[in-house]
Structure 1
């Protein structure tokens, strides 16, 4: 009962904070959750060899919030991200993004949704080496059927300036450092003003200083642009930038922590890691 009360309180606080951001920015606030999972289960295989990656996830994340997802190896965090982002199909349950039910969509519909309403930031950057920085940022717009309009180019230039890459739109990814490439990836993820930005270990390939800068950019995207970020990470320092941390274990949400310090998050992770792990779970 205490956990449920804490869950409701955390969601209320997060929604209130997002509403305050919208009011300060002079915008109307849409209270529809950015991400909503109800009874989500994901099973691979059948019978005695079945892997129960997710065992029943119930979750609602307000718009304009930053959520970190952590858990021991095999806890289900990667499967959670894939199901929430429409990259994998739950065995049971419902997933809504920005109020749109995506469970049951066909692959063409999911592809269109991912191009126009979701942003992604991966550990490996995933930039196209043959394109310029500006072209990489504009790629989601082009894939969604848009053209390189003056408005789109202005949007790309503004985002590149926000991530500290003003004037570098004509360069190729190979001419940039790893940290700069991840900045391009963040700008690309934000260019369509998506309902949600999903980040999968976005600082895993970066040094500590550069990682802190990239996390600061994700934090700023939430605070300054009203973005919604859901980030899977193994790093308590990275999770400390989030408004809340969800801890997964054995395919379930085992705990959550409103914006905690690195030490507090690390201690909570240690407790989870030391606990019993059920057989048949997957990352």
Structure 2
């Protein structure tokens, strides 16, 4: 199933981002510490990286490696203790909470393991929710087009509870793409799906990158999921521990086994 190509939604009235030719995601010296003194937990111990626009990046690591904290800091859901984060060329580290909320609504997309659809809304209303929250005109034709692209033609008036898990995740992907975001952050998007449905969902994310020019950053524990990405970043003990480009599931599995044996599966940092 292939998503049709296109440009950013024409009704998008967001301000132009700074440095539009720069990286989609850039972290410089990012650290995240919880607590103080001897009991402090260093979830991120200094992350430096830049992710190009129009790429699909997977983030992996042993349990406790800091990958969830990485995603939260990169997406503006958590504030780093030190360092800077830029999204779409915009420095977000010093933003106030209202500014961050506006940025997340209008310029970022999110796909979670638990789908996070509102059961009282229809499928179409769930897809259009980011536009509504961002104060943009809710374009039903846009929702219809995206639902068709994710294989849900004619399902717009149904409620999430009437759909399978795989269909609900397709709705979540359509919702994540509706504003033409700078970056889509996906946190274990296939964790609640069977193997076949997971492969279909990953195919949709892959084509969002290759056909629509989206930028996807995905945290996953599944080597088969990570193999769909252009690049896999490995975290261990809160730092970058290497990367693989266009790797197979077998190569990723081997790298993960080496990391786990080196750091242990219960490293003393946050997940």
Structure 1-normalised TM-score? 0.88
Using the alignment, how far apart are the partners of 1:279 and 1:61 within structure 2? 26
Instruction: Name the counterpart of 2:216.
Output: 229
Instruction: Name the counterpart of 1:69.
Output: 59
Q: C-alpha displacement at 1:276, in angstroms?
A: 2.9
Structure number having the greater helix percentage: 1
1:78 aligns with 2:68: yes
Instruction: Name the counterpart of 1:176.
Output: 163
Task: Give 2:243's match in structure 1, choosing from 248, 252, 256.
Answer: 256
Instruction: Name the counterpart of 2:44.
Output: 54
SS of the residue corresponding to residue 274 of structure 1 reads helix
Q: C-alpha displacement at 1:180, in angstroms?
A: 0.1
SS of the residue corresponding to residue 63 of structure 2 reads coil
Q: C-alpha displacement at 1:31, in angstroms?
A: 2.5
Per-residue Cα deviation, 1:24-53 (whole angstroms, up to 9, x for no partner): xxxxx9531100000000000001000000
Structure possessing the higher relative contact order (Cα contacts under 8 Å, 6 or more residues apart): 2
Q: Number of residue pairs matched?
A: 254
Using the alignment, how far apart are the partners of 2:31 and 2:128 within structure 1? 35
SS of the residue corresponding to residue 64 of structure 1 reads coil
Instruction: Name the counterpart of 2:230.
Output: 243
Instruction: Name the counterpart of 2:116.
Output: 126
Using the alignment, how far apart are the partners of 1:279 and 1:234 within structure 2? 16
Instruction: Name the counterpart of 1:203.
Output: 190
Using the alignment, how far apart are the partners of 1:243 and 1:156 within structure 2? 28
Instruction: Name the counterpart of 1:10.
Output: none
Q: C-alpha displacement at 1:153, in angstroms?
A: 1.3
Structure 2-normalised TM-score? 0.91
Structure 2 residue runs without a partner (length 5+): 7-18
Per-residue Cα deviation, 1:111-165 (whole angstroms, up to 9, x for no partner): 00000000000000000001110000000000001232xxx21111111111000
1:97-116 equivalences under 5 Å are 97-116=87-106
Instruction: Name the counterpart of 2:30.
Output: 40
SS of the residue corresponding to residue 275 of structure 1 reads helix
Q: C-alpha displacement at 1:281, in angstroms?
A: 1.3
1:96 aligns with 2:86: yes
CA contact (8 A) 1:50 1:280 kept: no
Q: C-alpha displacement at 1:279, in angstroms?
A: 5.6
Instruction: Name the counterpart of 1:216.
Output: 203
Structure 1 residue runs without a partner (length 5+): 1-20, 23-28
Query: Segments of 4+ in structure 1 off by > 4 A?
Result: none
Task: Give 1:269's match in structure 2, choosing from 242, 256, 270.
Answer: 256
Instruction: Name the counterpart of 1:18.
Output: none
